[in-house]
Structure 1
Amino acid sequence: MISKWNYLPLTEKEKQAKEILSRTLGLDPYICELLVLRGVTNETDAKKFFRPQLSDLYDPFLLNDMDKAVNRLNKAMGSKEKILIYGDYDVDGTTAVALVYKFLQNFYSGLDCYIPDRYDEGYGISIKGIDYAEENGFSLIIALDCGIKAIEKVEYAKSKGIDFIICDHHVPDKELPGAVAVLDPKRDDSTYPYQHLSGCGVGFKFMQAFAISNNLSIKEYLFPLLDLIAVSIASDIVPITDENRILAFHGLKQLNSNPSNGLKAIIDLCGLKNKDITTSDIVFKIGPRINASGRVQSGKEAVDLLISKDPEGAKEKGENINQYNETRKEIDKQVTGEANKILENLKDFESHKSIVIYNPDWHKGIIAIVASRLTELYYRPAIVLTFSNGLVTGSARSVQGFDVYKAIESCRDLLENFGGHTYAAGLSLKEENIPTFIERFENYVAENILPEQMMPQIDIDATIDFKDITPSFLKTLKQFNPFGPGNTKPIFCTKRVLDYGTSRLVGRELEHLKLEMVDSRSENIMNGIAFGMHEHNEYIKAHHPFDICYTIEENTHNKNIQLMIKDIQPSK
């Protein structure tokens, strides 16, 4: 499928900001252009962008109900109440539980962790979890990365004499649960300056506020847990901007210099030992292994790994979780194949603007992954449904620019439960409602999705020449890390380049292009790799000019500059 290249030209106001930045900071104009595109328009913001400081974190008491949350936690600890730390079974939830548990464990012993079973209890606060708390004498539950819609469950807990503090980051309904405190930066009445914290991030802010109220050293007790925050931010695909950028930046430093025993075990199993770990490594290697525990077995095992104090014990737990990940891959491959067969046999599939498919026998733990794969393959919002615990349950994923949460919300009268974000959501419904849901969801998508959202798109930050790509330029680019939503790795375009004469096909099946290129503006010979783009070989070898878009990387073997080609198009 042909990709649409989106060029991001600066407005006149942005051009002026770029020129001022270039003059005052003495930076390459293209670097300043990248800064302006990211909303960095003055010297102060630029310094904060390049050197994120933990001292710039926001006051946690700006979060609504924070004073209530801290007072209730202080009361519980002062009265020696038993506290249950409850979280979702995904990476964000398990890292949040591990962070709060590890922090409070320094000062209090009456703690335990609880992760609901994906298959028996489903997402969020469960009756079984509350009953567990009652049976074991817990009078306070701290819910992390879930609970924002658990109105009835919180009332049930109150009837049992159990209080809730909810720390969530999902979009709430108009009515909030009747908990002692509801910490969520997405509340309609939120007074917090930043909306996009991860679930683990909200837990971090709670512990930050608790430390402030008790004159505890944040540097000594809380900052060593930033590696967990970095893993949550990267894995949950939240924007890496503003406060998240500070947390991710310092969390990655912690992950690379002194990770916890649990994360170190996973790092070693991933083959990342002695390597500079990036957000990409978390997304594709570390996160999936932590997630595999909740998908295949139990999310509680991931928490046990993350809070482990014993390196040998952590290593053993990590190996178990690594095996779950191998099992997950096998199931994922099987279900993805079955899903593709359903779509191949679907009448008029090409005219559909969305994908909703159902198989009651599919493994609940991998339907989110399959939905992601279908979205990437067919470029349309996808929902994959299976049957679990008496209800049809599903995971939704979306394409760039389309809000799948709102699409699902438009069908809320057909649903038993739903929640999530713009690009990822979960839902449950009765089996008899599936046909009506499919019809209404498709109608909503068809009426609201734009044609360009249904094709691969590449946003190009700047059009440059090969002469602009210098070691100094690459060195400054590295300081744009950590990358993620809101600060994606810069993509550049160079037009009318030519094969130097030495480009060739490589790979086991000669499916990749190893390029050596020149442009007409300099004598620089630039190396590049274009994975899976063998179809362009004949055109390039015929010495026709072509346009490329790419990221600029450092070759790990010889430390030379190499272009990672995203797409190739014949020059106009």
Structure 2
Amino acid sequence: MEWSHPSPLWHCSTPDSPPDEFVRAVQRYAPAGGERLARLLWNRQQRNLSELPGFLDSRDYRPTAAAAFGAELQQAIARLQQAIAHGEAVAIWGDFDADGVTATSVLWEGLGQFFDRSQQLSYYIPNRLTESHGLNQPGIERLAAQGVSLIVTCDTGSTNLAEIERAAELGIDIIVTDHHTLLPQRPPVTALINPRNFPEDHPLYHLSGVAVAYKLVEGLYEALPEIPQQPKEGLLDLVAIGLIADLVELRGDCRYLAQRGLQQLREQMTNTTHPGVKALLQHCKRHGDRPTDISFGIGPRINAVSRVYGDASFCVELLTCRDGDRAETLARQADEANARRKEVQQRVLQSVQQQLQQIDLSTTTVLVLSDPQWEVGVLGLVAGQIASEWGRPTLLLWEDHHSDPPLAKGSARSVAGLDLYELVNSQAHLLHRFGGHPFAAGLSLPLENLPLLREALNQRLVQKLGRFGGMQPILNYDLEVTVADLGQDLFRELKCLEPCGMGNPVPRLRVRNCWFEGARHRKLKVKGQKLQYLITSFRLRDESCDHGFPGMWWGHYEDDLPPGRCDAIVELDFNSKRSNYEVRLIDVRSIDMEAIEVDEGETLTQPQSLIPDPMSPPPIAIADLEAASQQTWLTLIGIAKYLSRTEETRPRTVIQQKLGIGDRPLEIGLHQLSELGYSIHSPSPDLIQIRHIQPRKGDDRPLNQLAQPFLDAVCEEQFRQPYMILGTLKNSSSRSGADSSKSSR
């Protein structure tokens, strides 16, 4: 039988209500009400009254000057001034994703105010499929042959030591503008402008590649104010595209630049300065007035070009050209690439899901999968889907058997609370190339090292978590509302949070004791594509009003909606195509089997540091064990519902394996299921039957009280498990030492 991905634990932070002073401060900016917005901001720890105006209105924010980058910026400006004075050839070295393409475009337009773009200035974007991220020596050598004496990188370059040294041998200076993880020692470059040099609470710390590039342009404008003919603010729509598409935390100057950039993006439909941006908006049928117009519209189309074709160079022309006809032609090509990307992504996702059916997920903490048929360009997208669904960091790799030596190349995505960069970099000795963020990374390694990497990462994360199993998915929601609350007023109030993204997610709302009416699923086949999209439409009802509220559930059949009363988590949105407000269903649970939730105060994220000594017992967070046992209980209920519906029989060992528990917790769990009204039978000692539900009369105990004996048994077993692992490791170490002694003799 197929086992679905783990159901997330629902969690809402519910501290005391915000003080009246805070509510009044928020109400000055909220177009309607303001109390719910104030409560949401307070719960998200956005409580500083002096920072609140700048958060809610960009006109009240004081942006950080480019000069904050200090000596590094000064050195970069001085070198650029030297290149201007001597008429040197300068190359921009970009990257092929949306952040890198927009960063290249910002430098192409910004530096183009100081350099002749037809004679002095050029740009180079690596091919995603043949060159990968970062500087590379063949590209540097080609630029040297063209007479380039200065390279300005964007969104890359911080860790390319060998390539930087090769450039120096060829007489090329390098200015690095980047935002990726830094090396312990500064590379030998002319300037290194990277916000990772700042402390994490600095307003510039979270800048993406395009925003760092903009700061360099800002510094050059300030140094040579008499030269530019176009205002630097005209670049902000490009900055917003890169910032929002790159999923950086929209705090401090990141949020300010995104807010200002969205204002500039809206103007493209009426006061066009970038015809290519307008054409992209038209192709994705959006108006440029929402951050989702970037995250679901422009961003995927820019990213798709390199994912499908490898070479994304024409995207810079698309974003910066002034010819409307040319911009439309290029936008059409990007749109076609995005359609092709969706087809490829769906095919790879199905292949990954088939591999997952062959894996024992009860003892796997990190998913490391590979295949020679996968298209490497979409592996990051699929890895993100799998990591989100299964609550485990995921590495997906294409097996290149034609390289010498054979390599595995691909992408990795993490889950909240786990530093992926730290985890993978701990096995750097097994890798060929590696770089990225705590949440996302790209890597390659010799194919023969792949089994070693898989085992090492899983062992490392077992040490980190202190137990077997994946990281528990947590579904956070912000507010509880009724169906009557949904609509224009609430939407306008919550819209004050935009732009949303990492660190400031889209608000999620819980509706209790609701039900669905008029549910109907359909498969949408997009014209000119092989893809079919499954979508269920419905009307959400509760006792608060006599009419329902429209909603959609993507990727689900109408039968997936539970009958009767339930609780739902939704996102409120405005559908510009239909000109109406609607909800997107995120998760739903029947009230009769309502999920045990995480109480306020529990530890929801995993420890951030790995255990220095693998032979020492790992520290155990009791709240973490409780959350894990609650998920095990939900999984047991899911198995019971499946077996009772299908009338199938399953081996006891299979059920234990799926739950990751021993004999005693299973026996207690089966007993508690009988308390819920399930009929449990054992046709033989190795088989279990679970039959239809017969609710117990007069038993009004809450579900969490009924489950408590099972939760206690699982917690006890999980508590002991790290010490069992420790014993195994010690025994293994002893055997290894004995074997080593034998071999030395």
Give me the TM-score of the superposition, normalised by structure 1: 0.90
Quote the offset at 1:401 in angstroms: 2.2
Residue 143 of structure 1 contacts residue 166 of structure 1 at CA under 8 Å; is this kept in 2?
A: yes
Structure 2 residue 565 is the aligned partner of structure 1 residue 549: no
Q: Secondary structure at the match of 1:394?
A: strand
Distance 1:59 1:305, change over 3 A: same
Residue 486 of structure 2 contacts residue 549 of structure 2 at CA under 8 Å; is this kept in 1?
A: no
Query: CA–CA distance in 2 between the matches of 1:561 and 1:321?
Result: 30
Distance 1:197 1:469, change over 3 A: same
Structure 2 residue 167 is the aligned partner of structure 1 residue 160: no
Distance 1:189 1:402, change over 3 A: closer
Distance 1:25 1:321, change over 3 A: closer
Query: CA–CA distance in 2 between the matches of 1:93 and 1:199?
Result: 6
Residue 536 of structure 1 contacts residue 568 of structure 1 at CA under 8 Å; is this kept in 2?
A: no
Partner of 1:21: 22
Residue 261 of structure 1 contacts residue 306 of structure 1 at CA under 8 Å; is this kept in 2?
A: yes
Q: Secondary structure at the match of 1:178?
A: coil
Residue 113 of structure 2 contacts residue 229 of structure 2 at CA under 8 Å; is this kept in 1?
A: no
Match of 2:341 among 311, 322, 328: 328
The AA in structure 2 aligned to 1:175 is Q
Quote the offset at 1:203 in angstroms: 0.3
Quote the offset at 1:456 in angstroms: 4.0
Structure 2 residue 550 is the aligned partner of structure 1 residue 534: no
**Aligned-residue identity in percent:** 27
Structure 2 residue 242 is the aligned partner of structure 1 residue 232: yes
Partner of 1:205: 215
Quote the offset at 1:226 in angstroms: 1.0
Query: CA–CA distance in 2 between the matches of 1:89 and 1:498?
Result: 46
Distance 1:558 1:128, change over 3 A: closer
Query: CA–CA distance in 2 between the matches of 1:122 and 1:536?
Result: 41
Structure 2 residue 585 is the aligned partner of structure 1 residue 565: yes
Between 21-30 and 263-272, report the one with greater CA deviation. Answer: 21-30
Partner of 2:671: none
Q: Secondary structure at the match of 1:479?
A: helix
The AA in structure 2 aligned to 1:406 is E
Match of 2:316 among 296, 303, 321: 303
Quote the offset at 1:538 in angstroms: 5.8
Partner of 2:10: 5
Partner of 2:513: 496
Query: CA–CA distance in 1 between the matches of 2:455 and 2:483?
Result: 51
Structure 2 residue 69 is the aligned partner of structure 1 residue 69: no
Query: CA–CA distance in 2 between the matches of 1:374 and 1:385?
Result: 13
Between 194-203 and 327-336, report the one with greater CA deviation. Answer: 327-336
Q: Which runs of 5+ in 1 are unaligned?
A: none
- What is the aligned-residue RMSD (CA, Å)? 2.7
Mapping for residues 326-475 of structure 1, pairs under 5 Å: 326-346=339-359, 348-387=360-399, 390=404, 391-449=407-465, 454-466=471-483, 468-469=485-486, 471-475=488-492
Give me the TM-score of the superposition, normalised by structure 2: 0.70
Quote the offset at 1:497 in angstroms: 3.4
Distance 1:246 1:285, change over 3 A: same
The AA in structure 2 aligned to 1:162 is I
Q: Deviations over 1:368-400 (max 9, x none)?
A: 222223223433111111245544322001122
Q: Deviations over 1:297-326 (max 9, x none)?
A: 202122222222211111112222322223
Query: CA–CA distance in 2 between the matches of 1:497 and 1:372?
Result: 31
Q: Which runs of 5+ in 2 are unaligned?
A: 1-5, 28-32, 524-533, 595-745
Partner of 1:270: 284
Quote the offset at 1:555 in angstroms: 5.1
Residue 505 of structure 1 contacts residue 511 of structure 1 at CA under 8 Å; is this kept in 2?
A: no
Q: Secondary structure at the match of 2:58?
A: coil
Residue 62 of structure 1 contacts residue 191 of structure 1 at CA under 8 Å; is this kept in 2?
A: no
Quote the offset at 1:524 in angstroms: 6.2
Distance 1:562 1:176, change over 3 A: same
The AA in structure 2 aligned to 1:407 is L
Q: Deviations over 1:346-373 (max 9, x none)?
A: 4x34421121112234322222222223
Match of 1:508 among 522, 525, 548: 522
Structure 2 residue 95 is the aligned partner of structure 1 residue 93: no
Residue 114 of structure 2 contacts residue 227 of structure 2 at CA under 8 Å; is this kept in 1?
A: no
Quote the offset at 1:282 in angstroms: 1.7
Match of 2:150 among 129, 133, 140: 140
Query: CA–CA distance in 2 between the matches of 1:284 and 1:133?
Result: 35
Quote the offset at 1:534 in angstroms: 3.0
Q: Which has the higher contact order (CA 8 A, sep 6+)?
A: 1
Mapping for residues 185-204 of structure 1, pairs under 5 Å: 185-187=195-197, 193-204=203-214
Distance 1:261 1:276, change over 3 A: closer
Structure 2 residue 225 is the aligned partner of structure 1 residue 215: yes
Q: Secondary structure at the match of 1:186?
A: helix
Partner of 1:105: 112
Residue 96 of structure 1 contacts residue 203 of structure 1 at CA under 8 Å; is this kept in 2?
A: yes
Equivalenced residue count is 556
Query: CA–CA distance in 2 between the matches of 1:457 and 1:185?
Result: 30
Q: Deviations over 1:30-52 (max 9, x none)?
A: 21111223443244422212211
Distance 1:79 1:556, change over 3 A: closer
Quote the offset at 1:277 in angstroms: 4.1
The AA in structure 2 aligned to 1:20 is E
Residue 19 of structure 1 contacts residue 29 of structure 1 at CA under 8 Å; is this kept in 2?
A: no
Query: CA–CA distance in 2 between the matches of 1:475 and 1:30?
Result: 11
